[in-house]
A and B are shown apart, each in its own frame.
Chain A
């Protein structure tokens, strides 16, 4: 349990931990003590037949780029993926546990899990441990009952379904772009171009996002993954 880990360190949760951290780390560069964060731009949108998910590929520790080719699009089931933003450790741990729960559920029920079900398991964890986690997650996938769906589980642990959802630090730069360019029921191709353009724009402006754009298109036939390498990204005004 999380509280037991802190107890074993002989340190109390909360102020105690940060006090120790500060004194031990004041002589080091920021990246030696900062938590791994998927600074990030993540996105998912529904199209006619499924969903397209996208993310940048930068993981930072403070201002150092710890991984420039990260994969933030994480499998939960064959047809349900999650886009991870926030603490890398927290989101990886949550995704692993959710994946386990769904695998168990699929064995018991004998059918593929519903996207809504996966999102509810994420919500359960993100809400009940909200004070200890830093995780903003987008759950997207396809199931036979409701087709392509996108669910947002932001920090705090609420759950809401949306046709298009953006997240992570880079998303702040995209609200205008998405509001003016998103149309419901796009074709698969249009949706992929839309997500690629959006993530590229955010990547160019957000210091915590960068690298390449990873895409995933989930339909009844499973997931189709693509990487658009940095030099192949669409070109915009560069100023």
Chain B
């Protein structure tokens, strides 16, 4: 997907870059070459895209601050005035916003394949390979030297999996294990999905893997596929994974289920922002052109989109009808 390519990382605002602890950008020749493309495709990290995705995520305080399994403590009651209560709610909303920052969506990383030296003299002297890690404290983990001396005398840079393991051994991070848990294997993921624990899987995945590792991307895609298959979109609403899921569905044009779910829950604003994002990502489709010409808003935008782009037209029409009837009865009564 070109949208998630190097352009995305190049256009990252400094704020997000610092937040996701990515190294400072070095000038890449590839970026200069890509500037010739017809129109810059919106990346996951654009401000406009992020605002729309964030609006769609919703801010259900009860779900964000739902009790996490910690030690048992008796509840703490406070007596507050109205003003203090407002202040506390405002602070809670600020905290919820930090909790809802979306994890980065990056391309899969290129495998490392670099030989530093070949010493045929050393062939046959050793039986096992040596992995040397540079333990200097002030180097970012991405730039650390981790080299492997094979028994046949070749000195090469370590692969990404070896790098992750060594860095976890010497600089352990909380929530990450040296050998990834068997939960992330494909056959075990199905069991977890049946228990509706998609969010826990995604949280564990973020703790365990780097955002550009193939395992991270595979687990995330499996989760999104499963959610889309069973229509369990509400599980991720008001969590930080919602944006990533919407981005995935948009790039693959599988937005119908999500649209139906939003209309059924009377979230018209979210539906319109979804379609706006769709038009931003795929500007060449017909409904995008019509929308731009006629400057449609709200329900009309949805209707145009449904006519031209969706596969499950019937369902969406039904949902829209039900919604309009509900609106009519509620406004009449």
Do the two chains bind?
no
